[in-house]
Amino acid sequence: MNDFVKYTLWFVCLILLQEFLFNNIQFIHFLSPYIYIFLILILPFNMHSAPVMFVSFGLGLSVDIISAGILGAHAAACTAAAFCRNFIIKITIPRVEYESMSTSTAMQIKWNIFLLYAFLFVFLHHFILFLLEILSLDNFIFTFARILISSIITTVFILLIKILFNKDFKRNV
Amino acid sequence: MVSIIRFLLRYRTAILFLILEFVAAVLIFNNSNYQKTQFAAYVDNIKGIVYEKYAGIKQYFKLEDENKKLIAENLELHNKLNYYINRDTIRSGIAKNIVNRPAYTYKTAKIIRNSTNKQQNFIILNTGSKQGVRPEMGVISSDEKMIGMIVKTSPNYSSAISILNTGFIKFSGKLKRTGNYGTISWNGVNINNVQLHDIMQQSDVVIGDTVTTNQHSGVFPENILIGTVEKINIKDGIFYEIDVKLSQNMKMLQNVYIVDIHDKDEINTLLTNE
């Protein structure tokens, strides 16, 4: 399968999954996992920041439009997270991993390394998103707790997705 | 040109990031009322804080002057109080059927912004509708000289039109000695002078006469000092145009009173029914 087609499929599937499954899951009313950012995580390591940001912006905007929340909030959070992606990759993933030709995406790295990378990324995204939604620093501890717990839940789901689809990637790359 | 392009290329990621975030921000603030009002509230709050801090610093350097003024004012009030206490004991027997409540009360306020350098000058005060300030209330200085009138209020702040405002001719004044009254306005030339119009040319006016507010305005109590007659200009027609030297230095304002005339609406309904 061609890379472009593969990522487009992921794009559509993740948005649909987000809207029709995860947006309806509410553990406690204020916790919401946003698993769609899995797409940004698995974009190739050697992809430049600019295209990553474009894809992220489009992804966030699509989720905004479909979920009918605050138009632009997901787009802003995704773009910001994408902007920091390269930095997060550098500090969490060993150099040999992302510079070797055999591992071109985060799909192929070990789950324990992936976990830290994913969590930092998810946390950054959720932090921006939740603050944009509330736009107030009143009750910051509560907001921070929401961000932290939601990030953990999202990370767990993202890890599950990675483990489920690992084989698929190994076969195709 | 080349270096600009090089710069743009070098920081293309950051620039793209800023552009995308800007687009997202525009979307957010154009489409969501909550975000919009929350953002506007933040901006207003920050503006209020900055102005208030600035006014606080300015006030600190003027403390000595203000103190002297307060002491003088206190002394005068004590004297007045003594006078009334004495008078009351004499008249207490017959005062029973007189309605015994004040015609107006003062609210204190602090000026957080004041301009004198424009043709349309406004004063921003740190008291607002939460404290009971309403438009059309008079503003006087802490030693009871006329300054302006409230025109707009927000919950915690209010804006007053200064007497130094060419767009406004609603103030009325009178010559204290003779009781002749006219309208007060400012021609925008000198910040120490305002003009008193509509005084007939036959009237008895001399330089040095005191000009005060009169009770017809419904904005100020009677006999609040405005200034003294400085120059009497003879114009075509039957009226004088009198230059009045302001008693209040409009640049030195800090603490003010807002005058709440009681029963103003009630009196106004009577006036319109006539």
Q: How far apart are CA B144 and CA B255, in angstroms?
A: 11
Chain-chain contact of A57 with B20 (C-beta, under 8 angstroms): yes
| Res A1: pLDDT | 60
Query: A51 to chain B, minimum CA–CA distance in Å?
Result: 9
Of B13, B25, B39, the CB nearest to A76: B25
What is the enclosing helix (H) or strand (E) of B233? strand B225-234
Work out the percent of chain B whose per-residue pLDDT is above 90: 3
Chain-chain contact of B39 with A135 (C-beta, under 8 angstroms): yes
Chain-chain contact of B24 with A83 (C-beta, under 8 angstroms): no
Q: Which of A126-130, B110-114, B211-215 ranks highest by mean pLDDT?
A: A126-130
Sequence-separated (6 or more) residues with CB below 8 Å from residue A56: A37, A40, A78, A79, A81, A82
Grade residue A36 by pLDDT with cuts at 50, 70 and 90. very high
The two structure tokens encoding residue B230: 């400085």
Chain-chain contact of B28 with A76 (C-beta, under 8 angstroms): yes
Chain B residues within 8 A of A79 when measuring between CB atoms: 17, 20-21, 24
Chain B residues within 8 A of A47 when measuring between CB atoms: none
Grade residue A101 by pLDDT with cuts at 50, 70 and 90. low
Q: What's the mean pLDDT in B142-160?
A: 87
Domains of chain B: 103-263 (2.40.10.340)
Query: B221 to chain A, minimum CA–CA distance in Å?
Result: 44
Grade residue A122 by pLDDT with cuts at 50, 70 and 90. very high
List, for residues B4-46, the tens digit of each pLDDT value: 888 887 888 888 889 999 998 888 887 766 766 677 777 777 7
Q: How far is CA A162 from the centre of its chain?
A: 12
Query: A87 to chain B, minimum CA–CA distance in Å?
Result: 13
Q: What's the mean pLDDT in B146-159?
A: 88
| Helix A73-83, helix B12-31: angle, nearest 10 | 160
Long-range contacts of B96-101 (CB under 8 A, 24+ apart): B101/B262
| Res B91: pLDDT | 47
Hey, CA dihedral for B78, B80, B81, B85, is it positive or negative? positive
Residue in B with minimal Cα distance to A55: B20
Q: What's the mean pLDDT in A117-130?
A: 92
Chain-chain contact of A83 with B38 (C-beta, under 8 angstroms): no
The two structure tokens encoding residue B170: 């609603």
Q: What's the mean pLDDT in A12-40?
A: 80
Sequence-ordered alpha helix ranges (H) in chain B:
2-10, 12-31, 33-61, 63-91, 264-273
Chain A residues within 8 A of B34 when measuring between CB atoms: 135
| Res B96: pLDDT | 46
Q: What's the mean pLDDT in B105-117?
A: 82
Chain B residues within 8 A of A48 when measuring between CB atoms: 13
| Res B29: pLDDT | 80
Q: Is the minimum CB–CB distance between B26 and chain A shorter than 8 Å?
A: yes
Residue A85 burial (10 A CB sphere; 0-12, 13-18, 19+): buried
Chain-chain contact of B21 with A71 (C-beta, under 8 angstroms): no
pLDDT of residue A169 exceeding 70, the answer is no
Sequence-separated (6 or more) residues with CB below 8 Å from residue A49: A82, A83, A85, A86, B13
The two structure tokens encoding residue A16: 């649909």
Q: How far apart are CA B8 and CA B207, in angstroms?
A: 70
Q: Is the minimum CB–CB distance between A137 and chain B shorter than 8 Å?
A: no
Residue in B with minimal Cα distance to A56: B20
Q: Between B132 and A27, name the one with better pLDDT.
A: B132
Helix (H, G, I), strand (E, B) or coil at A46: coil
Sequence-ordered alpha helix ranges (H) in chain A:
3-17, 38-42, 49-67, 73-83, 85-92, 95-99, 111-134, 140-172
A111-115, A148-152, B118-122, B203-207: segment of lowest average pLDDT = B118-122
Q: Is the minimum CB–CB distance between A11 and chain B shorter than 8 Å?
A: no
The two structure tokens encoding residue B93: 């027997």
Q: How far apart are CA B214 and CA B102, in angstroms?
A: 17
DSSP B175-207: ETTT--EEEEE--SS-TTEEEEEEEETTS---T
Q: What's the mean pLDDT in A101-117?
A: 80
Sequence-separated (6 or more) residues with CB below 8 Å from residue B23: A57, A72, A75
Chain B residues within 8 A of A76 when measuring between CB atoms: 21, 24-25, 28
Domain count, chain A: 1
Domain that holds residue A72: 3-22+31-172
Q: Is the minimum CB–CB distance between A93 and chain B shorter than 8 Å?
A: no
pLDDT of residue A100 exceeding 90, the answer is no
Q: Is the minimum CB–CB distance between A37 and chain B shorter than 8 Å?
A: no
E strands, B74-145, are: 104-114, 120-125, 138-141
| Res A126: pLDDT | 92
Q: What's the mean pLDDT in B102-124?
A: 80
Q: How far apart are CA B174 and CA B225, in angstroms?
A: 10
List, for residues B58-94, the tens digit of each pLDDT value: 777 778 788 878 877 877 787 777 667 655 544 444 4
| Res B98: pLDDT | 47
Chain B residues within 8 A of A54 when measuring between CB atoms: 16, 20
pLDDT of residue A172 exceeding 70, the answer is no
Chain-chain contact of A83 with B23 (C-beta, under 8 angstroms): no
